Amino acid sequence: MQNVAIKVLKQFSGRRFFLLLTFSFCSFILFAQNTLDSYLQTAIKNSPVFIENKNQVNSLALDSMLLRASRKGQVNLTSNDVYAPVINGYGYDEIITNGGNYNALLGVNYTILGKNNLNNQYALLNIKKQIFALNAKLGERDLRQAVTAQYITVYGEQQLLSNAEKVLDVLKNEDVILKDIAQQGLYRQTDYLAFLIGYKQQHLAFERQKLQMQNDLYALNYLCGIVDTATVSLSDPALSVAPGISISQTYSFRQFFLDSLQLQNSLEQLKFHYKPKLNIFGDAGYNTTFLYHAEKNFGASVGLNLSVPIYDGNQRKLQIEKTKLLENTRQSKADFSRKQFSLKQIQLKQQITETEKLVAEAQEQLKISETLLKANNQLLESGDIKISDYILSLTNYISSQVTAQQLINARMLLTNEFNYLNY
């Protein structure tokens, strides 16, 4: 078994074996990865906006119960006891006060509301319920876009760090080899120092990128309400372009529909405000002055109150004109949104297509740069390439990596924006 292991080790240079160990380590880290969906679910769960919306919906249910309760009338118990003494001929005229007034009455008050008026008020509560539900969906949409965009940013940075770490591992291995070769005289010490400077620069850039990634990861946790400073590896967002839909199917456009219903409801309520109102009232109990047959002063009364609007200074017409202006504004915004939506949808589709082409080109360029770098690695170890040429090929490879990853991120961000538009 030991001989077999030695043969396997001999088939790999020190650099390749180190990369194999790095790959194994990265595979182990995959078990600790977090997914985009887990971050989205956590953000939605922790957001106070959705708790507020839930409470608003519950409040509407109570408003509906209050409206039903108001139809049952009001019953009140009142008692007024007044004594007006006359002392030595001084005091209120007893013809007015009767010497006092004592009562304890149970009063009933009931306003008669038409069926259509009640239905209008219930309809308003239903519209508000739909508005709260829509606001919840729009809040979820905005939160999803923000979390997804931040997740893409962190994921892209982690991919660049992973690639940079592999490059550093190669450079670390080459540093050992080049130091030995320089001591043998195949390279000048100045050439080795030039390589070492490039190596140190890449290491410094890696540490700076790592710090930026950690800050962006903290921002992602902050956005989701996650109290954690641990560095975790994010998995591929695996975003796909959602099917394009018409603007009338989006939650954004539904706002205009609900606004229209609300304006129509307010016009209907205005009509009911100017219709005659009938109120029934009555009381029963004890009402006396104690001056004459007080024991016979138990009784009851009932009455009607009718209110008929006649003139309001032209307020009704002005309110109708004001509502028409609001409807005109709503319609204008809706028409403009249709135009914007169509243009934005076409633009994003085109940008996604063009970016996908650039991603393919960048990945092809990356393959060429990687092949050249591998060839130069072998030439470097044999002393058949200038250090400056090797550093140039390394710089080109790193630049190709960055370009390819930036384009991949750009494609994912455009996909996120397109999905947000079609939510």
Domain CATH number, residue 57: 1.20.1600.10
Band of pLDDT at residue 13, cut at 50, 70 and 90: very low
In a domain, 239, yes or no: yes
In a domain, 6, yes or no: no
Q: Is the pLDDT of residue 320 over 80?
A: yes
**Least confident segment among 118-127, 201-210, 220-229:** 118-127
For residues 185 and 43, the model is more confident at: 43
Mean residue pLDDT across the chain = 82
Band of pLDDT at residue 317, cut at 50, 70 and 90: confident
**Least confident segment among 190-194, 285-289, 389-393:** 285-289
For residues 66 and 239, the model is more confident at: 239
In a domain, 296, yes or no: no
In a domain, 96, yes or no: no
Name the one residue in this structure whose structure tokens are 């243009």.
Answer: 343
Q: How many whole angstroms separate alpha carbon 236 and alpha carbon 384?
A: 40
How confident is the model at residue 10, as a pLDDT? 37
Q: Which residues form the domain of 409?
A: 11-71+113-274+309-421
In our burial notation (b when 16+ CB lie closer than 10 A, e otherwise), range 296-327 reads: eeeeeeeeeeeeeeeeeeeeeeebeeeeeeee
Work out the burial of residue 150: count CB atoms within 10 Å of its CB; fewer than 13 is exposed, 13-18 middle, 19 or more buried: buried
| Interacting residues of 174 by C-beta distance below 8 A, sequence separation 6+ | 15, 195, 377, 380, 381
In a domain, 281, yes or no: no
For residues 5 and 176, the model is more confident at: 176
Q: How would DSSP label each residue in 265-301?
A: HHHHHHHHHTS-EEEEEEEEEEEE-SSS-GGG-EEEE
The top-scoring range by mean pLDDT among 187-191, 287-291, 345-349 is 345-349
Q: Give the phi and the psi of residue 241 in degrees, each rounded to 5.
A: -75, 125
pLDDT digits (tens, 9 = 90+) for 222-257: 999 988 888 899 999 989 998 888 888 898 899 999
| Interacting residues of 357 by C-beta distance below 8 A, sequence separation 6+ | none
How confident is the model at residue 409, as a pLDDT? 94
| Interacting residues of 75 by C-beta distance below 8 A, sequence separation 6+ | 106, 107, 108
How confident is the model at residue 231, as a pLDDT? 86
The answer to whether residues 99 and 291 touch, using CB atoms and an 8 Å cutoff, is yes
How confident is the model at residue 1, as a pLDDT? 37
For residues 11 and 251, the model is more confident at: 251
For residues 64 and 12, the model is more confident at: 64
Mean pLDDT within 283-293? 74
The answer to whether residues 98 and 289 touch, using CB atoms and an 8 Å cutoff, is yes
How confident is the model at residue 6, as a pLDDT? 36
In a domain, 298, yes or no: no
In a domain, 16, yes or no: yes
How confident is the model at residue 4, as a pLDDT? 35
State how many domains the chain has.
1
In a domain, 85, yes or no: no
Q: Is the pLDDT of residue 389 over 90?
A: no
> At 411, which helix (H) or strand (E)?
helix 387-421
Q: Is the pLDDT of residue 32 over 60?
A: no
Q: How many whole angstroms separate alpha carbon 268 and alpha carbon 341?
A: 32
Band of pLDDT at residue 11, cut at 50, 70 and 90: very low
Mean pLDDT within 174-187? 79
Q: Is the pLDDT of residue 308 over 90?
A: no
Q: How many whole angstroms separate alpha carbon 72 and alpha carbon 66?
A: 10
